[in-house]
Amino acid sequence: MKQHKSPYKCHIFVCVKSRDEGRTSCGNDGAEEIRSLLKSEIKTLGWKKVARVCESSCLGVCEAGPNIMIYPQRIWFSEVTVDDIPEILQAVEDFLDEK
């Protein structure tokens, strides 16, 4: 095993878990589109080397989904829609600008 320091200032985890048994889940409520748009915006903004968008499985609060967690800043967004992407990106920009 080798241990490395992450090259990213943050990881943006987007839950894309889908459930077939009729339960509410992030993946059944637009999470994949949100993840894709966030990834595209991060690239457009030139943040690809410092912010990583990752898909996640269940974060444990499906009823509040789609859910996004940003680490290591410990920011959690629930009930996210594509309309919330500018606010999420603003939160990322705020801590990327911190010195």
Q: What is the pTM of this model?
A: 0.90
pLDDT at 10: 95
Position with higher pLDDT, 98 vs 56? 56
pLDDT at 99: 54
d(CA 38, CA 47): 11
| b/e sequence 6-32, b meaning 16+ C-beta within 10 Å | eebbbbbbbbbbeeeeeeebbbbbbbb
Share of the chain above pLDDT 90, in %: 72
pLDDT tens profile 30-78: 899 999 999 999 999 999 999 999 999 888 888 888 999 999 999 999 9
All domains of the chain in start order, with CATH: 12-96 (3.40.30.10)
Identify the band that residue 29 occupies on the pLDDT scale cut at 50, 70 and 90: confident
Which phi-psi region, left, alpha or beta, contains residue 7 (left: φ > 0; alpha: ψ -120 to 50)?
alpha
Of 24, 31, 23, nearest to 84 by C-alpha is: 31
pLDDT at 50: 96
pLDDT at 16: 93
